[in-house]
Amino acid sequence: MVLGNYKNCVSARAADPAVLSASQDGGIVTQLFAFALEEGIIDGAVVAGPGDEPYKPEPIVATTVAELMEARGTRYTICPNVAMIKEATRSYGLDKVGIVGTPCQIQAVRKAQLYPMGMRSVGDKIALAIGIFCMENFPYQGLETMVEDLCNVKMESAVKMDIGKGKFSVYTSRGAVSQIPLKLTHKFEQPGCHVCLDYVANLADVSTGSVGSPDGWSTVLTRTKKGETIWGKAIEAGYFETKPIEDVKPGLGLLTKLATEKITKNQKTLDERATFGVDKGLRNPYI
Amino acid sequence: MGLLSNLKKIFTGKKPEEPEAAPEPVTVPEPVTVPKARPEAKPAVKPGDVKVEKKPEIHEKEEKPVAEKITIGHVHMSGCTGCLVSLADNYEGLFTLLDNYADLNYCLTLADVRDIPKMDVALVEGSVCINDHHSVEDIKKARRNATIVVALGSCAAYGNITRFARGGQWNQPQHENYVPIGDLINVDIYLPACPPSPESIRNVAVMAYLLLRGTDEQKELAAAYLKPLMDLAQRGTEACGCDLIYDVINQGLCMGCGTCVATCPVRAISMECGKPNIDRDLCIKCGACYAQCPRSFFNFDVMNQFEAIGEVIDAAMGKGDE
C-alpha cells in the first residue's frame, strides 16, 4: 500500500532525444505533457518554469511545447504550482489543464476537486495530474547553502542537480561534479515535509520518478482511468520507450523500500507531534 | 411540449395527464394545464371538469418522488445573495438536484414561502444583525426547524465582510452589529469561501441526501465526507488569512503548495520564500484559504477514493463518464 493504488508500472523514457537532452531522468513529464498538448488532451499545463534566479523555479502555465522544454529538469526547491491552477482556467482560459506536482501538491489538487470551496470551475478542468516521487523538499535559501557553501559551486554555474545513491550531486558547466552525503542536507529540509505520508504521489493520474529504474530512465505508475488512457495513447503513438519494471534494476523493490522508509519515519514524526508538549500536542492535519 | 400535445392528439384526449405528469415536478402546473386542455378537448365532453381533474392528479404524481427527497431551505440573513447565486450557478445541475434529491421548501428569493418550515437541511447565508429582532428570531427558528444547519458561505460562518461593519447598506441606521450564526446557534456544517463554489454546494447537498436517505454504505461515505466540514464548524467563528500562519506554518505543516493563493477571492495572498504572505489590508476574513489548505484537513479515507467519489457525484448529477 505504500505505493498507493496503481494499474500499471513500467520503466520508461521519452522517445524524443530533444526532450532527453536536458531532462532529469526519462523526460516523462515533459514528453507526456507535450503529447497531451499536441493531441488536445490538455490546453496547457502548470509546470515549474524558469524564475529570476538560477534554480529558483516559478510556476507557469505552459501552452506550447517550447515552454514545456524550458521547464525540464528537477530543481530541488519549492515551486507553488497549485497557486496557478485557478489562474490557468481564468486568465489563460484553459478548459483542460495539466498539472505536475509533488505528492503534497497532487493531494491539494484532489482536495480542490472533492472540497472545492474556493475553487470554482477548477476541479472538472483538471485533465491530467502528473505526480513526481518526492522524499522531501528544500526552501530556496537551504538549497543555496547546500550548493554554494557545502558543494562549493556557484548557483549560476550548476547545470544539473541530482539526488541518488545517498548523495546530493551538483554538476557544473565545466564538467566538475561536486557531491555531499545526503545526510548533510537533512537540516535544510522544510519541516512541512516531515508529516508527509506520500512518497510516490498516490493520488496522481500518472506518477513518475527515477527511483526503481536505471540511469536515464524513469519509473512510471498509472493510477486512474484517465491516466491509464492517456499513457496508453502516448505509448501507442510511440512517444515513449518502455521496459517491464520486472526486467530492470533496481526495480520496484527499491521504490517500495524508500516509500516504506519515508512513511514510517514521517508517521513517527506525526505520533511524536501528538505528545509534543506536556499534555499538549501539535496539530495533525490527517484527523 | 409540442411532442406531448401531438401524442395527446393521437390518443384524442383519452388520457392526456399521463405523458404530462412525468416532466412536471419542477414547473408550475396551473398555467400549463389550462391552455393545453383547451385545444385537445375539442368536442369531447366538459371542459370545466378536465381542469378540476388534472390539478389534483398532478399533485399526486408530484408527491411520489418528493417522498424520497430531502427538504432544503435557504435562510437569508445579512448577506449579498452571492451564495444563493452560486447554488443556482450549478445550472442544469440545480434542476437535477431539485428533480431527484431535494425540494427547496424555503427560499425567500426563489420560492414563495414566508415562514421557515421544518426542513432537513437549512443552508444559512449571511451573518445575523443583532439589531434586527426579525433576523434573530429567524435564525433561532431555522435552528429549531432544521435537522442540519449549514453555514453557507463565509458571512454565515465567520462574518466575513459584514464583520467590518461598513458598507453603507443598512436598512436602518442602527443596523451595524453582525455576528456569525455560530455565535447564536449550534451549526453542524461549515462551507466557507466567498462564495463557496457551486460544485462544493452541490457536493454537500448530494452528501446530505446520501446521509439522510442512502444505504448504510452511502451513509458511511457521506458521514466521512462531511466530517471535516463538521469539525470546521466546531473550530470557531473567527477566520483570517493569518490562520495560515498560526495554524499551518507555525505548526510546522506548510509545504508551500500554493493552494491558498489560488483560493483567495481577493488575491490577498502571494508566495514569498515558499510560504504564503498575507496582505492583511486586503484580507476579508472569509477563511477560504485555511479551509482549502491541504494541511488544514486531509482525510485519507475520503481522498483516497477521489476517483470513485467523483464518479458517484457525476452519476448522481446525470453526467456520463465523458
Q: Work out the pLDDT band at B169, boundaries 50, 70, 90.
A: low
DSSP collapsed to 3 states, chain B: CHHHHHHHHHCCCCCCHHHHHCCCCCCCHHHHHHHHHHHHHCCCCCHHHHHHHHHHHHHHHHHHHHHHCEEEEEEECECCCHHHHHHHCCCHHHHHHHHHHEEEEEECCCCCCCCCCCEEEEEEECEEECCCHHHHHHHHHHHHHEEEEEEECHHHHHCHHHHHCCCCCCCCCCCCCEECHHHCCCCCEEECCCCCCHHHHHHHHHHHHHHHHCCHHHHHHHHHHHHHHHHHHHHCCCCCCHHHHHHHHCCCCCCCCCHHHHHCCCCCEEEECCEEEECCCCCCCCCHHHHHCCCCCCCHHHHCCHHHHHHHHHHHCCCCCC
Interface of B with A in 108-147 (CB under 8 A): none
Our count of domains for chain B comes to 3
Q: Which of A173, A188, A203 is the last residue of a domain?
A: A188
Other CB atoms within 10 Å distance of the CB of residue B47: 12
The pTM assigned to this predicted structure is 0.88
Residue of B228, B259, B321 with shortest CB distance to A108: B259
Question: Are the beta carbons of A113 and B251 separated by less than 8 Å?
Answer: no
| Of residues B4 and B194, more confidently modeled | B194
Same domain, yes or no: A39 and A120: yes
Nearest-Cα residue of chain A relative to residue B308: A224
Domain that holds residue A197: 8-135+191-274
Specify if B321 maps to a domain: no
Nearest-Cα residue of chain A relative to residue B254: A192
Specify if A3 maps to a domain: no
Cell of B305: 477514493
Same domain, yes or no: A255 and A167: no
Give the residue among B235, B222, B225, B224 at the shortest CA–CA distance from B192. B235
Q: What is the CATH number of the domain that holds B281?
A: 3.30.70.20
Same domain, yes or no: B56 and B187: no
Kindly state the average pLDDT of the residues A254-270.
Answer: 97
Any CB–CB contact under 8 A between B160 and chain A? no
For the stretch A66-95, pLDDT in tens is 999 999 999 999 999 999 999 999 999 999
Interface test with B, best of A111, A203, A280 (most B CBs within 10 A): A111
Our count of domains for chain A comes to 2
For the stretch B206-243, pLDDT in tens is 999 999 999 999 999 999 999 999 999 999 999 999 99
Same domain, yes or no: B280 and B311: no
For the stretch B240-281, pLDDT in tens is 999 999 999 999 999 999 999 999 999 999 999 999 999 999
Same domain, yes or no: A220 and A84: yes
What is d(CA A187, CA A196) in angstroms, rounded to the nearest whole number?
Answer: 16
Answer whether residue B56 shows pLDDT above 50.
no
Please tell me the predicted confidence (pLDDT) of residue A138.
97
Cα–Cα separations (whole angstroms), residue A145 to A154, A187, B155, B214 = 10, 11, 45, 56
Q: B207 and B229 in contact (C-beta within 8 Å)?
A: no
Kindly state the average pLDDT of the residues B110-131.
Answer: 94
Specify if A227 maps to a domain: yes
Q: Work out the pLDDT band at A9, boundaries 50, 70, 90.
A: very high
Any CB–CB contact under 8 A between A267 and chain B? no
Answer whether residue B58 shows pLDDT above 90.
no
Same domain, yes or no: B87 and B161: yes
| Of residues A250 and B29, more confidently modeled | A250
Domain that holds residue B44: 2-66
Any CB–CB contact under 8 A between B306 and chain A? yes
Answer whether residue B38 shows pLDDT above 90.
no
